Amino acid sequence: MNKLIFSVLIVIILTGCNGFPTDTLSQPEGKVIMNGEQYSMIQSNYQWKEDNVEISTKSSTDINELAELFETIEVEKDGTLKFEIDKNPTSITVAKLNEDGTTDIVEMKDNEITMPSESGYYIYQLITVWSKGKQTFVFDVNVE
């Protein structure tokens, strides 16, 4: 009987010391928020390296194709949009693609950007960087 109890205790102790990971690697999500409503941005070009795991996914390099996958947000001139991005990136660069094909870097403050003062269709690209990887997010707006 003592051998049985001893064996059960050994199994319980070894199970408690199990080295299985308790969390999984997941791709960070990015959301754009307008008037409290959240929209999941399109993810692109994800790269991550953690411990012995390396992940790299590539999507279409055509930003217009990626923007087509997003439901265009109707926004007001000079309105603001807020961002929430998982895993607290160390840097975020926001680029705006104008209808004429030119690109502008947009200033972001407190995870918010201001919409253009001119009506039109714009595609935004967020290049996010973490210590363990990077990812691009895309969304589009129609400014009225």
Whether the per-residue pLDDT at 118 is higher than 70: the answer is: yes
Mean pLDDT over 107-111 rounds to 96
Pairing of strands 73-75, 133-143: parallel
State the chain's mean pLDDT as an integer: 88
Domain boundaries, the chain: 26-143
Closest by Cα among 117, 118, 124, 127 to 141? 124
For residue 56, what are the CA distances in angstroms to 45, 46, 85?
A: 7, 6, 19
SS3 state at 41: coil
pLDDT value of residue 2: 52
Query: pTM for the complete prediction?
Result: 0.81
Per-residue tokens: 42: 């399109």
* pLDDT tens digits, 64-96: 999 999 999 999 999 999 999 999 999 999 999
The residue behind tokens 């990887």 is: 133
Domain 26-143, what architecture? Sandwich (2.60)
pLDDT value of residue 37: 97
* pLDDT tens digits, 44-58: 999 999 988 999 998
